[in-house]
């Protein structure tokens, strides 16, 4: 009898259609995070809108631009699906190589992270020295200390230090990096030759997870979402047959996410993550395997989604502060007239251009960095 996982592994291959959907989802999630931060710093919060300006379309504008948290949840699912799921597949096929795994992860993360930290820190420091300390990204004097810089390099922000400067999105990157580190060792019993060492590594990994949960209670919830994504890669079930319907369900949950949170608390994020997993399963198992329209463009855009996510906040705060001459970067404009539209369009244009140039210089060279790390590893092993 064929083991269940043999068929599951065959079904876990990423088709052209699924690949294009993943690209679109990655890019859209990065843009939603950007839109959330731009709206937060340009226009007043919805409760502060003047009564005579309130309308249905404006309410929907706030709903769409308030999906930053939902987009991060989507990132966790996609990361688990692509990285965690691939690890399971390689282990079941007997081809998992831990050195290759960490070289791939390190090159992917640090070729963008290191310059993003340095440039973002420089922008923040210049802004603070010119205009004074702001609370733009929850920043404090501690967020500019050298120990904070080192902690962010080691992805310990949110555990032992704040995020660097005003770059608040770095919290989720720390989670993802630790998911990458812990995942293969959590599965060590399935790939390590020495079962004794594997047991020790499993125990150490579980202890580390418990310790990190104690340091940051959000870690457990986010890890569960990531594990959902990893499981989705090898599951054979399909709860919703039509992909369009499945994605509409996920989108609907994302829209009503803020109203669900008071009812379901921390489980709201798991509910949204679960619906995204259902949509991925539906897409993967669909008979339609051709790429979606615009697939080539989505792929090009997705290749810069990591850069956009990491660099947009320091540039946003720097640009708004320097152009407005205000220490408090939030413009807090009422949504009327040409000013909020002009400011929004200008800020988005600057950030997109900056992220594209940054990505061309750094993120595009990830394969070269991977080769350098591989050669360095083989040289050390000699």
Give domain limits for the chain. Answer: 4-381
**What is the token pair recorded at 270?**
């798991």
CB 109 within 8 A of CB 117: no
Answer with the residue of higher pLDDT: 174 or 331: 174
Indicate if the pLDDT at residue 82 is higher than 90: yes
> Does the structure show a pLDDT above 50 at 284?
yes
Measured over the CA atoms of residue 56, residue 60, residue 65 and residue 68, the dihedral's sign is positive
Two structure tokens written together for 231? 């499981």
Distance CA 252, CA 257 (A): 8
Provide the 8-state DSSP code for 16: H
Per-residue pLDDT, 126: 93
Report pLDDT for 332: 87
Distance CA 159, CA 151 (A): 9
Give CA–CA dist 253/275, Å, rounded.
Answer: 8
Q: Using one digit for the tens of pLDDT, what is the confidence trace for 117-138?
A: 999 999 999 999 988 888 887 7
Query: What confidence tens digit (pLDDT) does each residue in 218-268 have?
Result: 999 999 999 999 999 998 888 898 999 999 999 999 999 999 999 999 899
Residue 133 in 3-state DSSP? coil
For residue 288, what pLDDT is reported?
83
Mean pLDDT of 172-186: 98
Average pLDDT, stretch 187-214? 96
Q: Is the pLDDT of residue 2 over 60?
A: no
**At how many degrees (to 10) do helices 295-302 and 16-42 cross?**
60
Q: Is the dihedral of CA 94, 97, 98, 101 positive or negative?
A: negative
The pLDDT assigned to 12 comes to 62
Is residue 50's pLDDT more than 90?
no
How many other C-beta atoms are found inside a 10 Å radius of the C-beta of residue 252?
11
- Of the listed ranges 6-15, 75-84, 207-216, the least confidently predicted one is 6-15
Instruction: State the pLDDT at residue 149.
Output: 97
Q: Report whether pLDDT(5) > 50.
A: no
Cα–Cα dist 247/279, whole Å: 5
Contact indicator for 234, 285 with CB cutoff of 8 Å? no
CB atoms within 10 A of CB 311: 27
**40-53 mean pLDDT:** 86
Residue 8 has pLDDT above 50, yes or no: no
CB-based contact 31:74 (threshold 8 Å)? no
pLDDT in tens, 301-332: 999 999 999 999 999 999 999 998 888 888 88
Neighbours of 5 (CB within 10 A): 16
Which residues does 162 contact at the CB level (< 8 Å), separation at least 6? Answer: 138, 139, 140, 142, 143, 148
pLDDT at 45: 87
- Cα-based angle 169, 172, 173 (whole degrees, multiple of 5): 95
Q: Which residue(s) pair with 333 in the sheet?
A: 43
Mean pLDDT of the chain: 92
| 62-74 average pLDDT score | 96
At 349, the pLDDT band (50, 70, 90 cuts) reads very high
46 CB-near residues (< 8 Å, 6+ apart) = 59, 62
Say whether pLDDT at 154 is over 90.
Answer: yes
Q: Residue 334: phi, psi to the nearest 5? A: -75, 140
Output DSSP code: residue 164. S
Q: What is the pLDDT of residue 1?
A: 36
Phi and psi dihedrals of 239, rounded to 5? -80, -30
- As a whole-number percent, the residues of the chain with pLDDT over 70 amount to 96
Helix or strand or coil: residue 157?
Answer: strand
């Amino acid at each position: 009898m064929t083991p269940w996982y043999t068929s599951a592994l065959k079904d876990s291959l990423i088709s052209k259609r699924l690949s294009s959907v993943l690209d679109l989802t990655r890019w859209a999630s990065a843009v939603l995070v950007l839109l959330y931060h731009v709206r937060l710093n340009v226009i007043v919060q919805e409760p502060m809108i003047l009564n005579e300006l309130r309308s249905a379309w404006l309410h929907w504008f706030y709903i769409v631009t308030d999906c930053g948290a939902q987009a991060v949840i989507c990132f966790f699912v996609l990361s688990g699906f692509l990285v965690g799921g691939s690890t399971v597949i390689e282990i079941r096929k007997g081809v998992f190589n831990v050195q290759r795994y960490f070289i791939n992860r390190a090159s992917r993360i640090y070729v963008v992270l290191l310059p993003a930290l340095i440039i973002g820190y420089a922008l923040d420091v210049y802004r603070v020295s010119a205009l004074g300390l702001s609370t733009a990204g929850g920043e404090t004097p501690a967020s500019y200390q050298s120990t904070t810089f080192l902690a962010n390099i080691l992805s310990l922000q949110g555990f032992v230090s704040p995020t660097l400067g005003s770059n608040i999105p770095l919290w989720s990157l720390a989670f993802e990096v630790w998911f990458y580190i812990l995942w293969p060792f959590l599965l060590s019993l399935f790939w390590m030759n020495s079962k004794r060492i594997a047991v020790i590594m499993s125990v150490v990994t579980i202890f580390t997870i418990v310790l990190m949960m104690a340091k940051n209670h959000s870690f457990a919830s986010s890890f569960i979402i990531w594990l959902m994504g990893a499981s989705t890669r090898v599951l054979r079930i399909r709860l919703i047959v039509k992909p369009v319907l499945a994605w509409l369900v996920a989108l609907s949950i994302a829209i009503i996410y803020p109203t669900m949170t008071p009812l379901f608390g921390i489980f709201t994020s798991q509910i949204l993550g679960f619906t995204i997993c259902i949509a991925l399963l539906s897409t993967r198992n669909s008979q339609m395997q051709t790429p979606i329209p615009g697939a080539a463009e989505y792929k090009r855009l997705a290749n810069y989604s990591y850069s956009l996510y990491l660099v947009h906040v320091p540039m946003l705060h720097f640009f708004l502060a320097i152009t407005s001459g205000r220490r408090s970067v939030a413009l807090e404009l009422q949504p009327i007239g040409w000013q909020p539209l002009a400011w929004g369009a200008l800020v988005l244009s600057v950030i997109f251009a900056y992220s594209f140039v940054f990505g061309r210089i750094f993120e595009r060279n990830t394969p070269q960095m991977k080769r350098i790390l591989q050669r360095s590893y083989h040289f050390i092993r000699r």
